[in-house]
Amino acid sequence: MNADVSGIHIASLSASQFATVYNLFSLVIASMVFTALYLLLSQGRVAPRYRNALVVSAIVCGIASYHYFRIFDNFKASYPAGDTVGAVHNLSNIEFNEAYRYVDWLLTVPLILVETIAVMALGRAASRSLLVKLVPASALMIVLGYPGEIAAGMGSRALWGTLSTIPFLYILYVLFIELTSSLDRQPHEVRTTIKRLRASLLALWCVYPVAYLFPIIGGEFFGGANGFVLRQAGYSIADILAKAAYGLVIYKVARIKSGLEDSRYDDDHDAPAPSRDRPGRAPATA
Amino acid sequence: MNADVSGIHIASLSASQFATVYNLFSLVIASMVFTALYLLLSQGRVAPRYRNALVVSAIVCGIASYHYFRIFDNFKASYPAGDTVGAVHNLSNIEFNEAYRYVDWLLTVPLILVETIAVMALGRAASRSLLVKLVPASALMIVLGYPGEIAAGMGSRALWGTLSTIPFLYILYVLFIELTSSLDRQPHEVRTTIKRLRASLLALWCVYPVAYLFPIIGGEFFGGANGFVLRQAGYSIADILAKAAYGLVIYKVARIKSGLEDSRYDDDHDAPAPSRDRPGRAPATA
């Protein structure tokens, strides 16, 4: 059977394996949709210069929502319920389409770099110089990963995975070496935050290659149906962290910078003194 | 049949049991969707510093809406209509997925604590200090409850339920002991409201463990299909109260505090004198 030979199509999932993946996909949809809405609704809480970073973050979550709705429906069609509740879910005639993820990443990964640079507000020339390096490299990273994801053999998976790592390392070089010179112009409180932003981007993005490697590691735990569940779980959780949670960090950075630059956005302090202590109001309420 | 052995899948529901759960789910959807809309549409009626609490409350209702749409469709697929109107609804091959609730709670319960702290406007440091304790504890509470919900045996249900109670007690400790020191800085009118807010949070959250315990109590009334209906009703009504109704309480607190701090938001007084008393209009209407 083709499903067994290729190693990329899992012939069947147990009811609990199916339920795990199913519920994770639904969790991703809820996280992405409502993070996108929250970011759009919170635009007024940051200075105008940071609103584009919030809009781009919301768009990233929106694109991911679209793809996870597709992935969710595709998964149900590929592994329909058996005859009874608790029965094995066998692969149907519908392929489980991993390409949705790569199309998603092709659009969202460059945009995640755009939102990161946008929230730094480095100035037009510096931003442009970083983006012309980062955006094509990130698109190349995704494009080179895909042939490995759908390859039948583990040798091809390793080869394309290695090729995809080259633009990834270049992105890290730009973010950690070139960007460092721009950091000195940032306010002190923000410099720390941007360093954390960059470190968390690195940490989050490392989850993807790890999940990609599961089929190569193979064995009882990382191979077969179990490995499929782990890989889907890895990609799903990495997407929540790298898009929704990261978007909220971008919002937090934008809030802090807005508050530092304009006191109208610095409204997280203690509430003003209550009115009963205010001389002007006391007689009116007495 | 697996459905009977496990004790978690009810083999069949009577037409009236099905209709009760079905209509309750629809009630939850209507409550959540339109409370979310009302909260978003009312943002302009509270001071800017309280708008985030309203947005988060709306997001909580939105996330619940998404999950209840899923639960509603899932319930129809799990217990399809029999051959005639009024016939028994037998369990199909589609599992009734209780995990939707837990995924919902995993996202919304921490956010309910976020909206509660946000409306208090305690200042950045105090808020942060409370949230780093409350948010992880609330997520842990939900995660520990789930294995008990899907466990076949009542012993496992009791064990995981007990484990889940530990973070719940910690949350109560933080809300009732630690938060008390911050309360003194609140205006008198608000202090009373926040105490009520906290008490209602406790009262509402106690409905969940009671519904969770129904299968353990068992018997004619709390076990089997009847217990299933009661548990779904308990969770659904608790969700309406803890999310939609609680969101409206948050809005009320935000309104009161906005009015105390800024007279522009204090427009709930008696209406201006009716027009017939105004000299300019009196002749026209007479």
Q: Which residue has the tokens 């973010």?
A: A175
How many cross-chain Cβ pairs, A to B, lie less than 8 Å apart?
104
Among candidates A33, A267, A271 on the partner chain, residue whose Cβ is nearest the Cβ of B66: A33
Residue B279 clears pLDDT 60, i.e. is over it:
no
Rounded Cα distance between A32 and B239, Å, is 22
The band of A6, judged by pLDDT with boundaries at 50, 70 and 90, is: very low
Which range has the worst mean pLDDT, B190-194, B247-251, B277-281? B277-281
pLDDT of residue B138: 94
All residues of chain B having their beta carbon less than 8 Å from the beta carbon of residue A251 are none
Percentage, residues of chain A above pLDDT 90: 58
Minimal CA–CA distance to A172: which of A136, A199, A210? A199
pLDDT of residue A151: 84
- Dihedral, CA of residue B184, residue B187, residue B189 and residue B193, to nearest 10: -60
Minimal CA–CA distance to B68: which of B35, B115, B93? B35
Q: Is residue B179 part of a domain?
A: yes
Q: Is residue B83 part of a domain?
A: yes
* Interchain pair B1, A84: CB under 8 A: yes
Q: Which chain B residue shows the shortest CA-CA distance from A267?
A: B49
Rounded Cα distance between A214 and A10, Å, is 14
Look at chain B and report how many structural domains it folds into: 1
Q: With residue A90 as reference, give the H or E element that holds it.
A: strand A89-90
Q: Is residue B1 part of a domain?
A: no
Q: Does B257 touch chain A (CB under 8 A)?
A: yes
Q: Identify the CATH number of the domain in which residue B62 sits.
A: 1.20.1070.10
Rounded Cα distance between A162 and B196, Å, is 59
Minimal CA–CA distance to B54: which of B261, B263, B254? B254
Residue B282 clears pLDDT 50, i.e. is over it:
no
Q: Which chain A residue shows the shortest CA-CA distance from B64?
A: A30
Residue ranges making up the domain that contains B79: 12-265
Beta bridge partners of A189: none
Q: Does B49 touch chain A (CB under 8 A)?
A: yes
Average pLDDT, rounded, for chain A: 86
Q: Which chain A residue shows the shortest CA-CA distance from B39?
A: A41
Residue A284 clears pLDDT 80, i.e. is over it:
no
Per-residue model confidence as pLDDT tens digits over A98-130: 999 999 999 999 999 999 999 888 778 888 999
The band of A269, judged by pLDDT with boundaries at 50, 70 and 90, is: low
Rounded Cα distance between A285 and A275, Å, is 9
Phi/psi at A160 (5° precision): -65, -35
Which range has the worst mean pLDDT, A280-284, B126-130, B178-182? A280-284
Q: Is residue A275 part of a domain?
A: no
* Interchain pair B187, A269: CB under 8 A: no
The band of A16, judged by pLDDT with boundaries at 50, 70 and 90, is: very high
Q: Does B98 touch chain A (CB under 8 A)?
A: no
Q: Report which of residues B6 and A171 the model is more confident about.
A: A171
Among candidates A22, A23, A268 on the partner chain, residue whose Cβ is nearest the Cβ of B124: A268
All residues of chain A having their beta carbon less than 8 Å from the beta carbon of residue B40 are 41
Q: Report yes or no: B71 and B25 within 8 Å, Cβ to Cβ.
A: yes
SS3 A12: strand
Q: Is residue A279 part of a domain?
A: no
Which range has the worst mean pLDDT, A147-151, B81-85, B114-118, B266-270? B266-270
The band of A3, judged by pLDDT with boundaries at 50, 70 and 90, is: very low
Q: Is residue A273 part of a domain?
A: no
Rounded Cα distance between B50 and A229, Å, is 42
Q: Report yes or no: B137 and B174 within 8 Å, Cβ to Cβ.
A: yes
Q: What does the H/E/C string look like for chain B?
A: CHHHHHCCCCCEECHHHHHHHHHHHHHHHHHHHHHHHHHHHCHHHCCHHHHHHHHHHHHHHHHHHHHHHHHHHHHHHHCCCCCCCCCCEECCCCCCCCHHHHHHHHHHHHHHHHHHHHHHCCCHHHHHHHHHHHHHHHHHHHHHHHHHHHCCCHHHHHHHHHHHHHHHHHHHHHHHHHHHHHHCCCCHHHHHHHHHHHHHHHHHHCHHHHHHHHHHHCHHHHCHHHHHHHHHHHHHHHHHHHHHHHHHHHHHHHHHHHHHHCHHHCCCCCCCCCHHHCCCCHHHHC
The band of A90, judged by pLDDT with boundaries at 50, 70 and 90, is: very high
- For residue B139 the two structure tokens come to 């997520």
* Interchain pair A34, B190: CB under 8 A: no
DSSP 8-state secondary structure symbol assigned to residue A80: -
Q: Is residue B103 part of a domain?
A: yes
Q: Report yes or no: A115 and A148 within 8 Å, Cβ to Cβ.
A: no
All residues of chain A having their beta carbon less than 8 Å from the beta carbon of residue B78 are 85
Among candidates B93, B99, B260 on the partner chain, residue whose Cβ is nearest the Cβ of A23: B99
What Å distances lie between residue A112 and A62, A160, A201, A249, B89, CA to CA?
Answer: 12, 23, 9, 12, 48
- For residue A234 the two structure tokens come to 């890895």
Per-residue model confidence as pLDDT tens digits over B178-207: 777 777 777 777 788 778 888 888 888 888
Rounded Cα distance between A280 and B11, Å, is 68
Which range has the worst mean pLDDT, A42-46, A182-186, A236-240, B272-276? B272-276
Among candidates B3, B51, B59 on the partner chain, residue whose Cβ is nearest the Cβ of A85: B3
Percentage, residues of chain B above pLDDT 90: 59
All residues of chain B having their beta carbon less than 8 Å from the beta carbon of residue A42 are 52, 55
Q: Which long-range contacts (CB under 8 A, 24 or more apart) does B134-140 make?
A: B134/B110, B134/B171, B134/B174, B134/B175, B135/B110, B137/B167, B137/B170, B137/B171, B137/B174, B138/B109, B138/B110, B138/B113, B138/B167, B138/B171, B139/B106, B139/B109, B139/B110, B140/B167
Mutate to test the interface with A, among B69, B119, B130, B261 (most CBs of A within 10 A): B261
Q: Does B124 touch chain A (CB under 8 A)?
A: yes
Q: Which long-range contacts (CB under 8 A, 24 or more apart) does B75-79 make?
A: B75/B21, B75/B22, B75/B25, B76/B22, B78/A85, B79/B12, B79/B13, B79/B18
Per-residue model confidence as pLDDT tens digits over A139-186: 999 999 999 888 878 888 899 999 999 999 999 999 888 777 777 777
Q: Does A136 touch chain B (CB under 8 A)?
A: no
Q: Is residue A81 part of a domain?
A: yes
